[in-house]
Amino acid sequence: MRNSYHDDLNDVVDDLVRMAGLVRTSVSTGTRALLEADIRSAEQVISEDESIDEAHNDIESRCFSLLARQAPIASDLRTVVSALRMVTAMERMGDLAAHVAKIARMRFPERAVPDDLQPNFERMAKLADQMIAKAGDTLRTRDVAVAAELATIDEEMDELRRDQFRTLLNDDWAHGVEAAVDVALLGRYYERIADHAVSLGRRVAFVVTGEKDDRATWSSS
């Protein structure tokens, strides 16, 4: 009975890793839609968001079932509770990718991002992709050192966000209010994707170390 329980728990973690892959693809495709004014990519992300929602519902249901059937303790309990938090974070990341795609679709055939901010968003998108990939690897390997790297990468993401605001508030901004709103929203979406990736890493660190203090998890081995 206990072996079956641990098999079920391992299956949940494996499916979380697969869900991270779905989210990574969605964010990447949404970025292509945004930066290249690719309407097909935008439609793909929007239509496939339902797959991420379904994965969320399935994993969440199985976690609740494990809690009800087995009353796990110690590291097993940490794993199940963390899985519930992580699956919600990934579902929100999928929603954010869909938000990016919807703005790209709304502005088609034009690009929503002005030319002078394209490099900023290209870098943001690259960091987001890197962070999602690392979050998936952390889930798979439970490597706390890799999880800690996410917080460091997030610092650059935050700086890119500050650069966007400096550009938006500069007297030289010539793209109008509508473009400013788009940029402000899009920057927030990528920033939140990064924040959720950091959260995933911290959840994995909590599973491995049992330490709730975020700062302490990064120094644990």
> pLDDT class for 217, splitting at 50, 70, 90?
very low
Summarize pLDDT for 154-170 with one digit per residue, the tens.
999 999 999 999 999 99
Distance of CA 134 to the CA centre of its chain: 11
- pLDDT tens track for 10-41: 899 999 999 999 999 999 999 999 999 999 99
Instruction: Check whether 182 has a pLDDT greater than 50.
Output: yes
The CATH class of the 2-218 domain is: mainly alpha
Give per-residue pLDDT as tens, 54-87.
Answer: 999 999 999 999 888 877 777 888 899 999 999 9
Round to whole Å and give the CA distance between 49 and 153: 26
* Sequence spans of domains, the chain: 2-218
Q: Is 1 exposed, middle or buried (0-12, 13-18, 19+ CB in 10 A)?
A: exposed
Mean pLDDT for all residues in the chain: 91
Question: pTM of the predicted model, to two decimals?
Answer: 0.91
Report how far apart, in Å, the C-alpha atoms of 82 and of each of 16, 31, 75, 142 are.
11, 28, 10, 13
